[in-house]
């Protein structure tokens, strides 16, 4: 019986920890086609093949990034570069959404001009990529990824 109670206590604490301290890495990327592409940034290694296939670019450079702790009690301003700001209001997803999943209300700003307002789901195994404005040499992307 004592073992069973300890197991229940451990499971409840583990569940609390999973939702209590997720860090979210946010970045602004520039996707381009280069004759000799630079190596893929390590943070994007897992998603790079899919990005290349979908967006038709062969190089992804990080223009700016930041890491924030996800807190559902207040809105967060994630500032991955000097020109792009992201307002995030998070709430935990349901059990059906998966452990560590958040439902996000997002507002993306370029300088002081709002670009997009949307809702999205972000989880440990499902990063979020937002296509931003077209740049003279490629495409601006905003990335949100839950870090372990």
Higher-confidence residue: 80 or 112?
Answer: 112
Q: What is the pLDDT of residue 13?
A: 31
User: How large a percentage of the chain has pLDDT more than 90?
Assistant: 18
Domain residue ranges of the chain, discontinuous segments joined by +: 22-147
pTM, two decimal places: 0.74
How far is residue 19's CA from residue 8's CA, in Å, rounded to a whole number? 17
Determine the average pLDDT of the residues in 73-85: 77
Instruction: Choose among 131, 143, 137: nearest CA to 35.
Output: 137
Whether residue 16 has pLDDT greater than 70: no
Average pLDDT of the chain to the nearest whole number: 79
pLDDT in tens, 88-143: 888 887 777 777 788 889 998 888 899 889 999 988 888 889 888 887 889 989 89
Q: Are strands 113-122 and 128-135 parallel, antiparallel or unpaired?
A: unpaired
């Amino acid at each position: 019986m004592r073992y069973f109670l300890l197991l229940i206590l451990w499971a409840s604490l583990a569940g609390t920890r999973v939702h209590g301290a997720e860090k979210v890495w946010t970045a602004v990327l520039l996707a381009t086609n280069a004759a000799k592409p630079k190596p893929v940034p390590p943070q994007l290694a897992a998603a790079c093949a899919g990005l290349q296939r979908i967006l038709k670019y062969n190089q992804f450079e990080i223009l700016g990034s930041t890491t924030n702790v996800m807190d559902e009690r207040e809105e967060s301003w994630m500032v991955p570069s000097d020109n792009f700001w992201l307002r995030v209001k998070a709430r935990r997803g349901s059990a059906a959404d998966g452990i560590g999943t958040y439902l996000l209300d997002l507002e993306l700003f370029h300088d002081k001009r709002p670009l997009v307002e949307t809702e999205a789901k972000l989880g440990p195994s499902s990063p979020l990529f937002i296509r931003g404005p077209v740049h003279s040499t490629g495409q601006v992307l905003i990335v949100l990824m839950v870090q372990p």
